[in-house]
Amino acid sequence: MTGSTTTPRQMRGRAKLRAALVLAFTAGLTSIAQAQTVAEAPNFDRPAQPSLNFYGSPGIIDLPSGEHLPEGQFTTTYSYFGGTSRYNLTFQALPWLSASFRYNGIQNLNLFGFNTYYDRGFDVRFRLLRERKYLPTLTLGLQDFAGTGIYASEYLAATKTFDTPGLGGGDGTLKVTAGLGWGRLGSNGAIGTIGTRGAFNGGDTGGELSVDQWFRGDVAPFAGLEWELDDRWGIKAEYSSDAYELETQQSNVFERKSSLNFGVEYQQSPGLRLGAYYLYGSEIGVNAQIQLNPRHPTQPIRIPAPTPVVPRSQWATEEAHWSPDWAASENKRGQIRDLMADALKADGLTLEAVILEGNVAEVRYRNNRYRSYTLTIGRVARAMARTLPPSVETFRIVPVRRGLGLSTTVIRRSDLEALEFAPEAADALVAVTGFQNAGPLPEGADFSDELYPAFATSISPYAAPAYFDPDQPFRLDVGLDFGASYAPAPGWLVSGTIRHRLAGNVEDGRASNSVLPRVRTNQVEYAQFDTTLENLYVARNWKPASDLYARATVGLLESNFGGVSGEVLWKPVNSRLALGVEGNYVKQRDFDQRFSFQEYSVFTGHASAYYEAPRGFLAQVDVGRYLAGDVGATFSVDKTFNNGWSVGGFFTLTNVSAEEFGEGSFDKGIRFRIPLDWLWGKPSRNAFGLTVRPTQRDGGARLSVPGRLYGQIREGHRKSLVDQKARIWE
């Protein structure tokens, strides 16, 4: 999260730290969930969503069910019982597909010399049948399919829902689940065997798919009941097919006396569900579930209503009003430019330039406030209708980012006047609107007087996490970033950030054992200094041709590397496909992160392809050379939402072997981005983003370059604008 001024002119104990971080994180997530409860108790209305099991997936208590979450649902859960803790993240990418990432801790399982054994794993679930009148919903699941395999299992689970009487005479729901499990879920009460399956021995570093073991070995049945008494309370019971052999025989962390589990859960808010349980005849367990959905903000975004468009026929009543002769007057054009700048400023937008002709006007503007460019185009069109003479019929509206015109939206003024209050107004206006490339700015354009040169400063908090150290799974540095930027002319930027750490413990992490050049695993060495120069660079963005965008950056590009970076992107305004090439020559910075460098240098670069697929999916492939000198490709898919949410995953395969790479075998991870306006209800272009890797190693590591082109160009092109077409009237 960053902060900055709104105009160019204005623009450091471990236990205590860990406890404070856990409390702050829990409080923050709880407040998000509680924010959804306003005016909703006791019978609040929430999207239909199943409860989650101890693995963070739709289920009963410790077992899965056949249910699936609503599309787009993002969940985080914490569960604990019998010396086992699990942190889970789950995302429902499609109605029939969900994926989970899990971080587990098992006490006394001393496999690698640690008192607590920590493990990461990924799950995936596929819906095979949707529930119907006489049929249950049926799901196939792969659990811990790409980890060390400590929880590896496969299952088929079916769930049927029945309406029943609830508390106080109200309505209730009974859900009945039955299934078959293999692996962990086939280790108790087996009814048969299919082939052979290897046993977990703790020696695998994980990361590779054990396809030859899927649906192999003993198969056992499991079952469960969930009775939702009302919107708040639910009770659960299940028969478990997991023998918990590791936990009861190797670590002896608890005693398994029964296969029956029981629990009660309370829906505290639409986003927060709490549970308490009695498990395996000996243990008390707890579970906290937080569910968020990008389509359901914590609170509505409060934006002042726009000024309505007044048709010219109501105020331009004389023939002289419609004359285009005003365009010949430099003084008149200057007055209109100033009126336009004031009108845009009232909506939080900044005028870059105007091109004024008798019948056509082009407005180029900056958007530093709103998530949606479609919304801003609607605001600019209204401002043009209020300030331009009646003779101007064609509006050309160009959003500008870092000196680049992103696209040109062409709207006829008469269409705007006629359609504002028409039925299906958004569809109608899009049908008569053109989307074109934003060409170069003509020499005769009237610039806003106050834009260049521009100087801005910012102060913002930062958080730098380090994950999955066996000694301490989560470390964090927090502090302040002091930023400054100078824009001498359109497309040019000089920017730098000084970072000061206020608290943290990343410096106490474990030393790297990497056999590759340590381009990312020397995080501990870089964390030894409290005040550092995070970056300092000069960048230029420009358009060398109609559908081409270019960037050149030189300086201290990130905390670990400095050098020269260049990029060219081909992205037509109306195309879902984009192609890009980036090349960088960089040297590794000294650990104090000032102006000196180490000896290691590398040429790194990638050819990239981007595709905007249906249902909000964004696919990307990057092929090239990475920071450690390895060569390969990164594949990523993100589910994006019109309000700025995105959730996705990626993996990288290079010519580095699994043994050379080390723990995890290859680079992979998940990432998500939550827009701050979704959380706060106030317009903002900022967002909270996080990338979680099971293990940060040196293979497949990419340079972090400020201002890469695709993200900023894409959001101003046709698909993004049309996907948000209803917002043009906001």
pLDDT at 199: 66
pLDDT digits (tens, 9 = 90+) for 65-106: 999 999 999 999 999 999 899 999 999 999 999 999 998 888
Gap between the Cα atoms of 466 and 509, Å rounded: 8
Gap between the Cα atoms of 180 and 201, Å rounded: 24
Gap between the Cα atoms of 220 and 686, Å rounded: 49
Q: Is the pLDDT of residue 174 over 80?
A: yes
CA 18, distance to chain mean position in Å, is 25
pLDDT at 81: 94
Q: Which element (helix H / strand E) includes 481?
A: strand 472-487
Written as six digits, the tokens of 76 are 């985080």
pLDDT digits (tens, 9 = 90+) for 291-306: 988 888 877 788 888 8
pLDDT: is 194 or 19 the higher one?
Answer: 194
Band of pLDDT at residue 658, cut at 50, 70 and 90? confident
pLDDT at 114: 60
DSSP at 244: -
CA 270, distance to chain mean position in Å, is 21
pLDDT digits (tens, 9 = 90+) for 661-695: 888 788 998 999 999 888 888 888 888 888 888 88
Q: What percent of the chain has pLDDT over 70?
A: 90
Residue 375 near residue 365, CB atoms below 8 Å: no
pLDDT at 203: 46
User: What is the CB neighbour count within 10 angstroms for residue 588?
Assistant: 20
Band of pLDDT at residue 317, cut at 50, 70 and 90? confident
Q: Is the pLDDT of residue 162 over 80?
A: yes
Cα-based distances in Å from 96 to 76, 153, 642? 19, 20, 21
pLDDT at 470: 66
pLDDT digits (tens, 9 = 90+) for 35-60: 433 333 334 444 568 999 999 999 99
pLDDT: is 219 or 116 the higher one?
Answer: 219
pLDDT digits (tens, 9 = 90+) for 3-26: 333 333 333 343 333 333 333 333
pLDDT at 206: 57
Q: Is the pLDDT of residue 182 over 70?
A: yes
Gap between the Cα atoms of 59 and 125, Å rounded: 12
Residue partners of 16: CB distance under 8 A and separation at least 6 = none
Could you name the CATH architecture of 15-292? Beta Barrel (2.40)
pLDDT: is 595 or 317 the higher one?
Answer: 595
User: What is the CB neighbour count within 10 angstroms for residue 148?
Assistant: 24
Through-space distance between the first and last CA atoms of the chain, rounded to whole angstroms: 26
pLDDT at 624: 97
Gap between the Cα atoms of 118 and 398, Å rounded: 52
User: What is the CB neighbour count within 10 angstroms for residue 92?
Assistant: 24
Domain ranges of the chain: 15-292, 312-450, 533-719
Q: What is the mean pLDDT of residues 522-542?
A: 94
Gap between the Cα atoms of 281 and 25, Å rounded: 32
Q: Which element (helix H / strand E) includes 62?
A: none
Say what the alpha-carbon torsion angle 148, 150, 151, 152 is, to the nearest 10 degrees: 60
Gap between the Cα atoms of 101 and 151, Å rounded: 12
φ/ψ of 146, rounded to 5, equals -135, 30
Question: Which segment of 223-237, 441-455, 501-515 scores lowest on mean pLDDT?
Answer: 441-455
Q: What is the mean pLDDT of residues 269-296?
A: 93
Residue partners of 338: CB distance under 8 A and separation at least 6 = none
Kind of pairing, strands 360-367 and 394-401?
A: parallel
Q: What percent of the chain has pLDDT over 90?
A: 59
Q: What is the mean pLDDT of residues 446-451?
A: 72
φ/ψ of 576, rounded to 5, equals -80, -15
Output the average pLDDT for the chain. 87
pLDDT at 16: 36
Residue 695 near residue 468, CB atoms below 8 Å: yes
DSSP at 643: T
Fold match flag (15-292 vs 312-450) = no
Band of pLDDT at residue 659, cut at 50, 70 and 90? confident
φ/ψ of 165, rounded to 5, equals -65, 145
State the amino acid at position 647 in one-letter form: V
pLDDT at 147: 58
Q: Under DSSP, is residue 84 helix (H, G, I), strand (E, B) or coil?
A: strand
Predicted TM-score of the model (pTM): 0.86
Q: Under DSSP, is residue 437 helix (H, G, I), strand (E, B) or coil?
A: coil
Residue 265 near residue 272, CB atoms below 8 Å: no
Nearest CA among 2, 35, 101 for reference residue 292:
35
pLDDT at 289: 95
Question: Which segment of 347-351, 376-380, 424-428, 527-531 scores lowest on mean pLDDT?
Answer: 424-428
User: What is the CB neighbour count within 10 angstroms for residue 538?
Assistant: 14
pLDDT at 14: 39
pLDDT: is 475 or 193 the higher one?
Answer: 193
Any idea which fold 312-450 has? GMP Synthetase; Chain A, domain 3 (3.30.300)
